[in-house]
Amino acid sequence: MMKELWAQRTGAGLFLLISYALWAAVSLRWISEFLEENHPLTWAITLILLLYGLLLGLEPLLTAGSRTRAYFYLGAQTILVFAASLLYFELDFFAILYIPVCGQAIYLLPRRQGLLWLGILIAVTAAGQMIQFGMPQAVSFILLYSAALVFVAAFVIMVQRADQARRRSEQLLSELREAHMQLQSYADQAEELAVANERTRLARDLHDSVAQTLYGLTLQAEAASRKLAAGQSAAVQAHLDAIQEDARDTLQETRLLIFELRPPVLASEGLAAALRARLDAVEGRGMVRTEIHLHEINGLDPALEMGLYRVAGEALNNAARHAEASAIAVSLTQDEGSVTLLVADDGKGFDPASIPPGRAGLAGMAERVESMKGTLVVESAPGAGTTIKAEVPR
């Protein structure tokens, strides 16, 4: 238990060791004195020194949890030292034992009360030296021991402040770690939510486009089968033509959905190569003329690459699905501090002012660009095509 009580104080082990070293030095000096002088009160001073040393080690147990007991302890030790100094005149070294008491007072008491006890110890030291040596001989001893007491008090206060700063740093570090773990948890949850939303969107697109078209192909095939059985070859040809057209549209829709996912070429070869692959595989095979002005962007953050690819994909989807464009131009350039993506089509266009604020396609692009701390500009007019420009900082 004593070990645990001492361990609760910063530097307590070293302080106790130094205190006992001072006590041992005073005791040895006293032993050498009474061996020479054979002082009649040897037993009293020896008992005082033994009692002081015993109380010094038991202090945490005697004062634990009680400021009142701390005052009694400090008072008892102070009285013991003062008595020892008065029992044998012309020996000043007993005042050294005030030094451990001073350090303990700073440890045990609130700051102001500890400094008040420091003043009491200085006053008691001065009184003892003046009683023994008188003036002016006592002045040098008073200054010497007072300086030692002030030094010890200042040292203990600095140790306490350093310990408080360390504890605050540890607490802040613990709070930062907890906050980091919470942020990581929130990031994981946000990522899971984003994945879930993306899956939901892909499922909806599959249902609205591919699944519906395949269902239509089934109906067309059944109708063609009935016409064939009835010998209506012209009607069968019409159904076959419709099936071919719907199958081509389904193929294009499927390619669009595939390229909605992160293509491997984006990670391996970069944004420009991924956009070329997208235009060749989807728009090019969909009978849409493409004009490409792409420059390799080196050292771009993967998150920015993915964000710009998503913006380009949404713009291309809008051009193919809604604008009925026959030609699309894509440009990717960079300057010293930003990257600019430009997607322009010759479709039917629209009036940007007439589009509801929450329209999914434009709102999604705006949110992506805003998350990259960039700007999105949409220029369009009925019958004049659409130009979408996204500029983000590197």
Q: Is residue 196 part of a domain?
A: no
Residues 292 and 170 in one domain: no
Residues 164 and 280 in one domain: no
pTM of the model: 0.48
Average pLDDT of the chain to the nearest whole number: 78
Q: Is residue 363 part of a domain?
A: yes
Domain count, the chain: 2
Question: Measured in whole angstroms, how far is the alpha carbon of residue 11 from the centre of its chain?
Answer: 31
Residues 146 and 14 in one domain: yes
How far apart CA 335 and CA 360 sit, in angstroms, is 30
Predicted pLDDT of residue 5 = 47
Q: Is residue 149 part of a domain?
A: yes
Residues 27 and 137 in one domain: yes
How far apart CA 122 and CA 152 sit, in angstroms, is 12
Tokens in use for 45?
A: 């001073």
Q: How far apart are the first and last CA of the chain?
A: 61
Among 22-26, 190-194, 218-222, 282-286, which range has the highest average pLDDT?
22-26
Question: Among the three residues 125, 149, 175, which one is the final residue of a domain in this structure?
Answer: 175
Q: Residue with structure tokens 């440009």? A: 331
Question: Among the three residues 133, 154, 175, which one is the final residue of a domain in this structure?
Answer: 175
Q: Is residue 287 part of a domain?
A: yes
Predicted pLDDT of residue 51 = 92
**CATH number of the domain within which 334 lies:** 3.30.565.10
Q: Is residue 156 part of a domain?
A: yes
Q: Is residue 262 part of a domain?
A: no
Among 170-179, 182-191, 202-211, which range has the highest average pLDDT?
170-179
Predicted pLDDT of residue 268 = 66
Residue 361 · residue 314 · CB < 8 Å: yes
Residues 283 and 146 in one domain: no
Mean pLDDT of 150-175: 86
Each residue's pLDDT tens digit, 229-252: 777 777 767 767 777 776 766 666
Residues 159 and 297 in one domain: no
- Confidence label for 84 from pLDDT (cuts 50, 70 and 90): confident
Residues 150 and 291 in one domain: no
Q: Is residue 294 part of a domain?
A: yes
Q: Is residue 148 part of a domain?
A: yes
How far apart CA 40 and CA 30 sit, in angstroms, is 13
- Between 28 and 211, the more confident residue is 28
Residues 152 and 48 in one domain: yes
Question: Among the three residues 175, 190, 222, which one is the final residue of a domain in this structure?
Answer: 175
- Confidence label for 12 from pLDDT (cuts 50, 70 and 90): low
Residues 167 and 281 in one domain: no
How far apart CA 83 and CA 27 sit, in angstroms, is 15
- Between 295 and 124, the more confident residue is 124
Predicted pLDDT of residue 150 = 92
Residue 26 · residue 96 · CB < 8 Å: yes
- Expressed as residue numbers, the domain containing 391 is 271-394
Nearest one of 148, 164, 69, 49 to 109, comparing CA atoms:
69
